[in-house]
């Protein structure tokens, strides 16, 4: 899917890394530019069309996490991949909560990064199947065309990936979905064996839609299998049993 029509912005304060990555992306057929700070990145995305932002999480000044939140607010449809030397689960969760679609830990193989970029582009540019324009469950309303989630009439902000994940779960209400199926449907065929990766996204999504994320009513864990979406207003919907091995889901 590489094309000079696909615009990628590299944001990193390390000049050698920044220019090297931009050159590699251009060599691979992408349209790529680079800036050295979060402040410059915000100015750039407000003035020019951008498809993907590759954003370093650790930079002087504003920092990557705050930049991610501001870019997401200014341009909701831009894909954001965080580049970080940190591999702690909490750092990844913070990135996802800030609106990132994906994260890659440095050092990384360039081919891995390109695969992540291409998977994100497929998801954001693919046209979904013809389905009901609004999905409802409990006090949730998911407006597919406007890409808006409302909970009890109040709009809840979702990142593009969180939105696609919730759509998939709600479209398969009461049906257990395997970890691998969810990963490959949302992230692409390169994925399938990263349950911890999926678990981080489910955790952030539960924080946004559940009254009590520690005791979720909507997104149920199917022990050793995957997840199942439950409509709490459906009297026939039986909660899944708790899984002691997936305490990180909450």
- 127 band by pLDDT with thresholds 50, 70 and 90: very low
Amino acid 169: pLDDT? 94
Alpha-carbon distance values, 181 to 16, 130, 186, 201, 202 (Å)? 39, 20, 8, 15, 14
**Domains defined along the chain, listed by start:** 7-125 (3.40.50.2300), 134-249 (1.10.10.10)
What would the pLDDT profile of 176-191 be if each residue is shown by its tens digit?
Answer: 889 988 988 888 877 8
Among candidates 68, 111, 103, 109, which has minimal Cα distance to 86?
103
φ, ψ at 141 (rounded to 5°): -130, 120
Among candidates 244, 137, 141, 225, which has minimal Cα distance to 182?
225
Amino acid 126: pLDDT? 57
- 141 band by pLDDT with thresholds 50, 70 and 90: very high
φ, ψ at 104 (rounded to 5°): -130, 130
- 249 band by pLDDT with thresholds 50, 70 and 90: very low
Among candidates 34, 95, 108, 87, which has minimal Cα distance to 63?
95
User: Cβ distance 35 to 11 under 8 Å?
Assistant: yes
Encoded tokens for 214: 């520690």
Check whether 245 has a pLDDT greater than 50: no
What would the pLDDT profile of 217-238 be if each residue is shown by its tens digit?
Answer: 999 998 878 899 999 888 766 6
CB atoms within 10 A of CB 4: 10
- 192 band by pLDDT with thresholds 50, 70 and 90: confident
Out of 15-19, 33-37, 77-81, 193-197, pick the least confident: 193-197
């Amino acid at each position: 899917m590489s094309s000079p029509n696909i615009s990628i912005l590299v944001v990193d304060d390390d000049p050698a890394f920044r220019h090297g990555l931009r050159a590699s992306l251009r060599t691979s057929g992408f349209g790529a530019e680079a800036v050295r700070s979060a402040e410059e990145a915000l100015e750039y995305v407000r003035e020019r069309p951008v498809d993907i932002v590759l954003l370093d999480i650790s930079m002087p000044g504003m920092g990557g996490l705050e930049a991610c939140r501001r870019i997401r607010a200014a341009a909701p449809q831009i894909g954001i991949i965080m580049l970080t030397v940190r591999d702690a689960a909490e750092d990844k969760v913070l990135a996802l909560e800030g609106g990132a679609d994906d994260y890659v830990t440095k050092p990384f193989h360039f081919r891995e990064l390109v695969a992540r970029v291409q998977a994100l582009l497929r998801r954001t540019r693919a046209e979904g199947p013809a389905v009901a324009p609004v999905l409802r469950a409990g006090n949730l309303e998911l407006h597919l065309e406007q890409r808006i989630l409302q909970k009890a009439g109040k709009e809840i902000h979702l990142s593009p990936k969180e939105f696609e994940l919730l759509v998939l779960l709600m479209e398969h209400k009461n049906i257990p979905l395997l970890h691998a199926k969810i990963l490959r449907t949302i992230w692409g065929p390169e994925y399938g064996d990263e349950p911890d990766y999926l678990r981080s996204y489910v955790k952030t999504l539960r924080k946004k839609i559940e009254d009590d994320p520690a005791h979720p009513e909507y997104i149920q864990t199917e022990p050793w299998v995957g997840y199942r979406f439950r409509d709490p207003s459906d009297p026939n919907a039986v909660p899944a049993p708790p899984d002691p091995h997936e305490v990180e889901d909450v």
